[in-house]
Amino acid sequence: MSLRGAGLQFGQRALWKDLDVDLRAGEFLAVLGPNGSGKSSFLKVLLGLQRLHSGTATVGGRPVERGSRKIGYIPQQKSFAADTPLRARDLVALGVDGHRWGLRLNSRIVNERVDGLLDLVGARDYAKVPVGQLSGGEQQRLRVAQALATEPELLLCDEPLLSLDLNHQQAVSALINRQCRERNSAVVFVTHEINPVIEYVDRVLYLAGGRFRVGTPEEVMTTEVLSDLYNSHVEVIRANGRIVVVGLPDATTHYHDDAHSGVEEGH
Q: How far is the CB of 33 from ligand ATP (least distance, A)?
A: 6
Q: Considering the complex, state which of residue 45 and residue 121 has its C-beta at the smaller distance from ligand ATP.
A: 45
How near is the Cβ of 9 to ligand ATP at its closest, in Å? 9
Nearer to ligand ATP, 16 or 28 (CB): 16
104 DSSP assignment: P
The rounded distance, in Å, linking the Cα atoms of 152 and 80 is 24
In the bound state with ligand ATP, the residue whose beta carbon lies nearer, of 37 and 95, is 37
Q: State which of residues 35, 56, 167, 231 lies at the interface with ligand ATP (CB under 6 A).
A: 35
Q: Which is nearer to ligand ATP, 36 or 55 (CB)?
A: 36
Binder of ligand ATP out of 2, 18, 20, 41 (CB under 6 A): 41
Contact window for ligand ATP (CB under 6 A) among 36-44, 170-178, 208-216, 232-240: 36-44
Do the Cβ atoms of 194 and 209 come closer than 8 Å?
A: no
Q: How far is the CB of 195 from ligand ATP (least distance, A)?
A: 17
For ligand ATP, the closer CB: 128 or 267: 267
Strand-pair category, 154-158 with 186-190: parallel
Judged by CB under 6 A, which of 1, 17, 33, 215 binds ligand ATP? 33
Give the Cα separation of 238 and 1 in Å (integer).
31
Tell me the window of 31-39, 88-96, 132-140, 244-252 that interacts with ligand ATP (CB under 6 A): 31-39
* C-alpha to C-alpha distance for 52 and 50, rounded to whole angstroms: 7
Distance CA 217, CA 16 (A): 20
CB 37 within 8 A of CB 21: no
CB of 74 or CB of 117, closer to ligand ATP: 74
Q: What are phi and psi of 147, to 5 degrees?
A: -70, -30
> Is 15 among the residues that bind ligand ATP (CB under 6 A)?
yes
* Cβ count within 10 A of residue 105: 13
Q: How many binding residues for ligand ATP (CB under 6 A)?
A: 10
Contact between 255 and ligand ATP (CB under 6 A)?
no
Cα 172 to the center of its chain, rounded Å = 12
Q: Does 38 bind ligand ATP (CB under 6 A)?
A: yes
List, as one string, the DSSP characters of 140-162.
Answer: HHHHHHHHHTT--SEEEEESTTT
Helix 88-97 × helix 107-120 angle, to 10°: 120
Residues that bind ligand ATP (CB under 6 A): 10, 15, 33, 35-41
